[in-house]
Amino acid sequence: MTAAQADLHIDRPEVADGAALWRLAKESGSLDLNSSYAYLLWCRDFSGTCAVARGDDGEPVGFVTGYLRPDRPGTLLVWQVAVDAAYRGRGLAARLLDALTERVAAEQGLTAVETTITPGNTASERLFTSYAARHGARVEREVLFGTDQFPDGPHDPEVLYRIGPLTA
């Protein structure tokens, strides 16, 4: 772990972090940007299933948003992962994902992680396949939403990655 990684603190987001999460998503260059209101709601209503990495000044430099699926309460759906450009390439996304799933597993139980990835997003593919390998879990892939299901114009398909079973 580098000195820059050691200076980072991973915890739950707070409402005051919503603007920073929106900015990180916007500057990612690859995420579908939600409204700023959505990031405020993530920080208020889903802080238990989200994580934020803070620099030594306390400002967010990365985040993971997610929720437990209502029909599968042991499954964490990871919505978005973003890391500030200055902190990329240091394993921060993996640390965020590991810290979040460890916390959710301890507090609520966790048997699987799901996410969707558009074809060609190799950074996300690597992040989630390496997560599965670290946790000794299988990865199953299937198209969750096809291109024709998006009403707002051309959109790549969203491929569901189901990682599990996870064990304690």
Per residue in 20-76, pLDDT (tens digit) is 999 999 999 889 999 999 999 999 999 999 999 999 999 999 999 999 999 999 999
Quick one: pLDDT at residue 154?
Answer: 86
Taking the C-alpha atoms of residue 63 and residue 97, their distance in angstroms, rounded to an integer, is 9
84-102: pLDDT as tens digits: 999 999 999 999 999 999 9
129-165: pLDDT as tens digits: 999 999 999 999 999 999 999 998 889 999 999 999 9
Mean pLDDT across the chain, nearest whole number? 94
Quick one: pLDDT at residue 127?
Answer: 98
